[in-house]
């Protein structure tokens, strides 16, 4: 979920960096599977959480060893498709329903697209997300402690909460397909498309600015004309779609909306203000842009 990567760390080529990331995530998957087998599936939410924590610890070890917390960046989009597939495989039930296949397909589409977007924009381990670089400066010798809890563990808990509806949607939920499933599919796919389109528009804009040697230009075209963070809007909407699938499969899944709610709060109160503050510091005109263009909810009347 990075919006810009900075921090020179001249160690590895881009190819070697991807080898390290692949090795880290392969080992994390192996450890997660081992933990899940040991834990058992009598209480699925506990099993998923235990495996999730174990995988996070493995990735953190690599982050620490390679001195780069950006090793964790793809975790957000890699884990949900794996969990969506693992739950029906491990939960004793009848053959997967149409809903199960639909949810797996949509979550995998979202995850694959977001992971690809990260991969093509990641320069390698010689760079680190600018937010992590700032945090290093502020926390000094305590950085890795903060990194474990703030940059690794907190996002893991966040995405875990977002995945809770999957325990019903592809696990224990037995309600037949209905109107709510259709709405869930529209929301999930629609916001995935919004996020993808916003990312593509931003990528094209940055290429144009680089080609012209322009700096400090504000993105205000396409979806970005109507709100400042359409990519975040797409991300938030996706998780609400996942929640709707859980609710469609079992009305008892209402409590799992805590995940989508927390993700919404996190983007609105942490991510967006952080990005906006940095943008104002780097682009003086951005303060006026903020007055004219809303942060998250699009305004179709923006001129």
pLDDT, tens digit (0-9, with 9 covering 90-100), for 88-118? 888 766 556 899 999 999 999 999 999 999 9
C-beta separation of 260 from 239 below 8 A: yes
Model pLDDT, residue 58: 98
Structure tokens given for 40: 């058992």
How far apart CA 296 and CA 99 sit, in angstroms, is 30
Task: Return the closest-CA partner of residue 124 out of 203, 7, 12.
Answer: 12
> What residue has token string 């592809």?
170
How far apart CA 224 and CA 302 sit, in angstroms, is 11
pLDDT tens for the chain, 303 residues: list them.
444 444 445 567 888 999 999 999 999 999 999 999 999 888 889 999 999 999 999 999 999 999 999 999 999 999 999 999 999 888 766 556 899 999 999 999 999 999 999 999 899 998 898 889 989 999 999 999 999 999 999 999 999 999 999 999 999 888 999 999 999 999 999 999 999 999 999 999 999 988 888 888 899 999 999 999 999 999 999 999 999 999 999 999 999 999 999 999 999 999 999 999 999 988 889 999 999 999 999 999 887
Model pLDDT, residue 116: 96
C-beta separation of 209 from 217 below 8 A: yes
How far apart CA 53 and CA 258 sit, in angstroms, is 19
Beta bridge partners of 5: 129
**φ, ψ at 5 (rounded to 5°):** -125, 130
Model pLDDT, residue 280: 92
Secondary structure of residue 128 in the 3-state scheme: strand
**φ, ψ at 274 (rounded to 5°):** -65, -45
How far apart CA 183 and CA 131 sit, in angstroms, is 36
Task: Return the closest-CA partner of residue 229 out of 261, 198, 270.
Answer: 198
C-beta separation of 124 from 12 below 8 A: yes
Structure tokens given for 147: 């990194």
> What does the domain layout of the chain look like in residue ranges?
5-292
In angstroms, the Cα distances linking 79 to 71, 72, 260 are 14, 11, 16
How far apart CA 102 and CA 95 sit, in angstroms, is 14
pTM: 0.92
Q: Where are the alpha helices (DSSP H) in the chain?
A: 14-39, 44-66, 75-90, 98-121, 130-139, 143-146, 154-163, 166-167, 179-212, 230-249, 257-266, 272-282, 286-292
How far apart CA 48 and CA 158 sit, in angstroms, is 13
- CA-angle at 88, arms to 87 and 93, nearest 5°: 125
Model pLDDT, residue 212: 86
Secondary structure of residue 150 in the 3-state scheme: helix
Model pLDDT, residue 92: 66
């Amino acid at each position: 979920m990075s919006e810009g990567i900075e921090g020179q760390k001249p160690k590895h080529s881009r190819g070697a960096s991807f080898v390290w990331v692949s090795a880290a995530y392969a080992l994390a998957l192996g450890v997660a599977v081992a933990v899940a087998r040991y834990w058992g599936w009598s209480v699925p939410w506990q099993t998923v959480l235990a495996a999730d924590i174990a995988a996070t610890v493995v990735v953190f070890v690599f982050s620490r060893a390679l001195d780069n917390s950006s090793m964790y960046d793809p975790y957000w989009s890699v884990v949900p498709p794996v969990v969506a597939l693992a739950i029906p495989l491990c939960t004793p039930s009848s053959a997967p329903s149409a809903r199960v296949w639909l949810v797996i397909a949509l979550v995998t589409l979202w995850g694959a697209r977001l992971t690809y977007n990260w991969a093509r924009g990641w320069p390698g381990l010689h760079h680190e997300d600018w937010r992590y670089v700032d945090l290093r400066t502020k926390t000094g010798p305590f950085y890795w402690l903060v990194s474990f809890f703030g940059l690794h563990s907190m996002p893991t808990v966040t995405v875990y909460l977002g995945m809770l509806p999957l325990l019903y949607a592809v696990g224990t939920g037995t309600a037949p397909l209905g109107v709510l499933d259709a709405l869930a599919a529209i929301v999930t796919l629609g916001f995935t498309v919004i996020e993808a389109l916003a990312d593509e528009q931003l990528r094209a804009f940055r290429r144009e600015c680089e080609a012209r040697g322009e700096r400090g230009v504000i993105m205000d075209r396409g979806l970005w004309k109507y709100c400042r963070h359409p990519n975040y809007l797409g991300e938030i909407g996706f998780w609400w779609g996942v929640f709707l699938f859980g609710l469609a499969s079992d009305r008892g899944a209402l409590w799992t909306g805590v995940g989508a709610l927390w993700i919404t709060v996190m983007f609105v109160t942490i991510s967006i203000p952080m990005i906006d503050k940095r943008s104002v510091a780097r682009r003086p005109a951005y303060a006026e842009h903020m007055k004219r263009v809303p942060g998250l909810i699009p305004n179709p009347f923006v001129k």
